[in-house]
Amino acid sequence: MDIILAAACVAAAGAVLLFCRRRKHRLLSAIYGAVTGIGALLLMNCFGGYLGIELPLNAFNLAGSGLLGAPFVVMVTLLRYL
């Protein structure tokens, strides 16, 4: 299970890097993705208790949401919910 999750994270990071590379404004696109990901993580940390899902602010979640953006937060939320 851990190998599959690690492979999925590597594949998602590659897809995000490929997407950012094809954009006209690469740096702004990467910054926007990181800001929305960290914002989504903070919102889930603050208000996730009302849904019964709490996401801790640890290094893995911060790095994942910073690199992969909001889809990472959605994926982690779904994994926590299941």
Q: Give the tens place of pLDDT for each residue, 37-72.
A: 889 888 888 888 888 888 888 888 888 888 888 888
Count up the domains in the chain and report the number.
1
In terms of residue numbers, what domain contains 50? 2-81
Please provide the average confidence, as pLDDT, over all residues in the chain: 80
pTM above 0.85, yes or no: no
- State the Cα–Cα distance between residues 31 and 27, nearest whole angstrom: 6
pLDDT top residue among 8 and 66? 66
Neighbours of 11 (CB within 10 A): 10
2 pLDDT above the threshold of 70: no
